[in-house]
Amino acid sequence: MLHIAEMEQVITTFRLDRKEEIRLRAAVLATSQMERVECAQQARISFMAALAELDKAALMLKASDAWLVWHDEAQNGLTAAQNRLASLGA
């Protein structure tokens, strides 16, 4: 059985992922190169933090479909941020 505190932590992490997806989009839409790099760097750091938090979850939680979806989304976001930084030459 999942502990409520653990589920709240994962939900908080999931919300962080959503904010970082917006930040990653901003890295594409920003008007200056510096702003694009900064947004992509912030997104990368936050996706890494989200993955670290998800990895701290209890084994029972890690076995849930929700955790797997959130982990995949965070990993995909990290990959997208890294790709964006590479395309920016950063």
**DSSP reduced 3-state for 66:** helix
Q: Is the pTM of this model over 0.85?
A: no
Give backbone dihedrals phi and psi of 89, rounded to 5 degrees, phi first: 75, 25
Q: What is the pLDDT of residues 54-83, one digit of tens each?
A: 888 888 888 888 888 888 988 988 998 899
In a domain, 90, yes or no: no
Return the pLDDT at 66: 82
Domain assignment present for 74: yes
Total of domains in the chain? 1
Q: What is the pLDDT of residues 2-61, one digit of tens each?
A: 455 655 665 565 565 566 666 666 666 667 888 888 888 988 998 898 888 888 888 888
Give the separation between CA 22 and CA 43, rounded to whole angstroms: 9
Q: Which residues constitute the domain of residue 23?
A: 4-85
CB neighbour burial string for 38-55, b if at least 16 within 10 angstroms, e if fewer = bbbbbbbebbbebbebbe
Distance CA 52, CA 6 (A): 14
Flag whether 60 is in a domain.
yes
